[in-house]
Amino acid sequence: MAYDDAPLTPELYCSDLQKSLALYCDVLGFHILYDRPEDGFAMLERDGARIMLEQIDESGRTWCTGDLDYPLGRGVNFQIKVSDVQTLYDKTVAVCGDLFLPLEDKWYRAGDKDLGNRQFIVQDPDGYLLRFFEDLGTKERETCT
């Protein structure tokens, strides 16, 4: 993947870039595509999913529309597809302890089918919710006759 070919890449402000990178890279399996340490910025990637992290610096250029109070990203969770959610879950629990949502199998209605996810949610140091999932496939919805 080229640096600029992802159709959507959220940029998340963070209070301590190094602390965030420790979780995202050392635990959650992201790697740094490129960074600008002088700007407190890093572009991360994992299996095609991308997230930009930028350390809060209110003295410079920001695109903030309100106060940056913890937890950041209230009301948003980022769903990230992985190939082996169990292994990632085990590693995340071993390092982070209790998670926002423990591993579960969940089926979501999509028209006349159900879509299955094996998923868990971890909260990053600034409060953003990261929902990692593995696809369980689809099944026909049961109907009553």
Confidence of residue 141 (pLDDT cuts 50, 70, 90): confident
Would you say residue 5 lies in a domain? Answer: no
Would you say residue 130 lies in a domain? Answer: yes
Q: Look up residue 55 and give its amino acid.
A: Q
Would you say residue 87 lies in a domain? Answer: yes
CB 44 within 8 A of CB 30: yes
Confidence of residue 58 (pLDDT cuts 50, 70, 90): confident
Would you say residue 62 lies in a domain? Answer: no
Q: Which two tokens stand for residue 51?
A: 């997230």
Instruction: Say what the pLDDT of residue 124 is.
Output: 96
**pLDDT tens string 77-104:** 999 999 999 999 999 999 999 999 999 9
**CATH at 111:** 3.10.180.10
Instruction: Say what the pLDDT of residue 3 is.
Output: 62
Q: For residue 70, is pLDDT > 70? A: yes
What is the four-CA torsion angle of 28, 70, 54, 15, rounded to 10 degrees?
Answer: -90
Would you say residue 123 lies in a domain? Answer: yes
Confidence of residue 66 (pLDDT cuts 50, 70, 90): confident
Number of domains in the chain: 1
The residue assigned the tokens 């159900």 is: 114
Q: For residue 1, is pLDDT > 60? A: no
Instruction: Average the pLDDT over 5-15 and give the result.
Output: 89
Which DSSP helix (H) or strand (E) runs through 107?
Answer: strand 101-110
pTM for the model: 0.89
- Domain with 45, as residue range(s), is 11-57+72-140
Would you say residue 125 lies in a domain? Answer: yes
Confidence of residue 52 (pLDDT cuts 50, 70, 90): very high
Would you say residue 37 lies in a domain? Answer: yes
Q: For residue 107, is pLDDT > 60? A: yes
Would you say residue 129 lies in a domain? Answer: yes
